Structure 1
Amino acid sequence: MNRIVLATSNRGKLAEMQPLLADIGLELVTQGELGVSDAIEDGHSFVENALIKARHAAEVTGLPAIADDSGLIVDALDGAPGLISAHYAGVHGDAAGNIRKLLDAMERVPDGARRARFLSVIVLLRHARDPHPIIAEGLWEGRLLHAPRGDGGFGYDPVFFDPLLGLAASELPADVKNRVSHRGQALARLREQLPRL
């Protein structure tokens, strides 16, 4: 297996991504398992932040690195929470607080205006100074619910509704979510580009 550091300490991301890459001989290990601290994400786009995270993880570990920068984009909130999705309520990774703040902001927004999408940008670097990273993107369209549903997934999954499937992201079986989600789509596009390595 080829070992690649996943530039996150989020076990939920690892659980989603590892099954989608294991069959092609890639073993992901989180940077948290290797004692790597989080990079300072001061980019102005999802692509910039993914590159910052991947370069940091590759530089510290000497391993190839994959980084995902993703977020929830809500039309009625002019794209918020966007780049600050993970710390929308002020504390990084406070999913319950982020959902509360989001639902408060959307309280008076009617069903027809609750369009939202998850965006994921995944970057793979062969080494820290890789001048030609592989970049893949995925987009998952949906709308926001008025209250959380389901007990699967992580982050904003309990309030993100997929109208085609008729379920919240947190209600989807893992294999279905991996196929339709923003991260699943981005990983599928990443896999298409791997032969050039």
Structure 2
Amino acid sequence: MVTPIKELVVASHNAGKVREIRDLLAPFGVKTYSAQELGLSDVEETGTTFAENAALKAQSAARESGKIALSDDSGLAVNVLDGAPGIHSARWAEQAGSGGRDFALAMAALVEKMRGKEAFKMHNTGAQFICALALALPHSDEKNQEVFVYEGKVEGDIIWPPRGDKGFGYDPIFVAKGDILSFAELEPEIKHAKSHRADAFAKFITAWFGDA
């Protein structure tokens, strides 16, 4: 499926995500709007998977704005925590903070939970960053609204203490397999080329832009 996309809404109020998605779309000449710029509503994430939550946000933004909408739902899944925080990655930061998201406290709480696990004591620090990217076409009828989902993943390990200040979220405690720098220590263009979001984006780009 190759069709021209001239503009779309990035269905997120997270400035870091919006910036990364805009950077990934820049080579294709797509004009982007953020959910905040258009005054779009926040959507309650009631899905049980990254894909379900990404689709919910993209469909809502497309209906509300009348534009094609692209949404990302992503998070950190830690092996010794049975995949937590997973789809609740942002919620962990909200619960840690007082009146807002505090990823510094969330990262500390996550590592403290890991330390209580026997597998962690055996040096099991494995984790994955997972991304589901959903593209929704505008339609007033939710049941007939088309949505397309692309998923990506990057394997790595949790480190402590946090390192770097170039990323966002849990980036300072995640090192991808084969790397020595955390995601937050990488220059944005390097991280964008190897992240879970980039993996999902490669599938999205192939589907909608072909060899453009």
Q: TM-score category by the smaller chain? A: over 0.9
In structure 2, what is the Cα distance between the partners aligned to 1:184 and 1:66? 14
In structure 2, what is the Cα distance between the partners aligned to 1:126 and 1:70? 21
Q: How does 1:36-185 map to 2 (within 5 A)?
A: 36-89=40-93, 90=95, 93-108=101-116, 109-110=120-121, 112-128=123-139, 129=142, 131-185=145-199
In structure 2, what is the Cα distance between the partners aligned to 1:123 and 1:111? 37
**Moved >3 Å (runs of 4+):** 128-132
In structure 2, what is the Cα distance between the partners aligned to 1:170 and 1:69? 19
Greater Cα shift, 128-137 or 76-85: 128-137
In structure 1, what is the Cα distance between the partners aligned to 2:71 and 2:9? 9
State the TM-score, normalizing by the size of structure 2.
0.86
Match of 2:28 among 24, 30, 54: 24
In structure 2, what is the Cα distance between the partners aligned to 1:40 and 1:59? 15
Question: SS state of the match for residue 51, structure 1?
Answer: helix
In structure 2, what is the Cα distance between the partners aligned to 1:32 and 1:133? 21
In structure 1, what is the Cα distance between the partners aligned to 2:36 and 2:102? 18
In structure 2, what is the Cα distance between the partners aligned to 1:114 and 1:19? 30
Post-superposition offset of 1:186: 0.8
Q: Which amino acid letter does the alignment assign opposite residue 89 of structure 2?
A: S
Say if 2:9 and 2:68, in contact at 8 Å, map to a contact too.
yes
Residue-by-residue CA offset, 1:104-126 (whole Å, 9 max, x unaligned): 11235237311000000001112
In structure 2, what is the Cα distance between the partners aligned to 1:61 and 1:111? 50
Q: Which amino acid letter does the alignment assign opposite residue 173 of structure 2?
A: V
Identity %: 37
Residues 106 and 35 (structure 1), Cα distance of their counterparts in 2 relative to 1, 3 Å cut: same
Greater Cα shift, 108-117 or 78-87: 108-117
Say if 2:76 and 2:127, in contact at 8 Å, map to a contact too.
yes
Residue-by-residue CA offset, 1:96-149 (whole Å, 9 max, x unaligned): 222121121123523731100000000111214564422111101001002101
Question: SS state of the match for residue 57, structure 1?
Answer: helix
Counting matched residue pairs gives: 196
Q: Which amino acid letter does the alignment assign opposite residue 98 of structure 1?
A: A
Post-superposition offset of 1:25: 2.1
Residues 93 and 186 (structure 1), Cα distance of their counterparts in 2 relative to 1, 3 Å cut: farther
Unaligned 5+ runs, structure 2: none
Match of 1:10 among 7, 14, 17: 14
Question: SS state of the match for residue 184, structure 2?
Answer: helix
Residues 134 and 116 (structure 1), Cα distance of their counterparts in 2 relative to 1, 3 Å cut: same
In structure 1, what is the Cα distance between the partners aligned to 2:146 and 2:186? 35
Say if 1:142 and 1:160, in contact at 8 Å, map to a contact too.
yes
Say if 1:87 and 1:94, in contact at 8 Å, map to a contact too.
no
In structure 1, what is the Cα distance between the partners aligned to 2:59 and 2:67? 10
Question: SS state of the match for residue 160, structure 2?
Answer: coil
Say if 2:129 and 2:153, in contact at 8 Å, map to a contact too.
yes
In structure 2, what is the Cα distance between the partners aligned to 1:37 and 1:97? 27
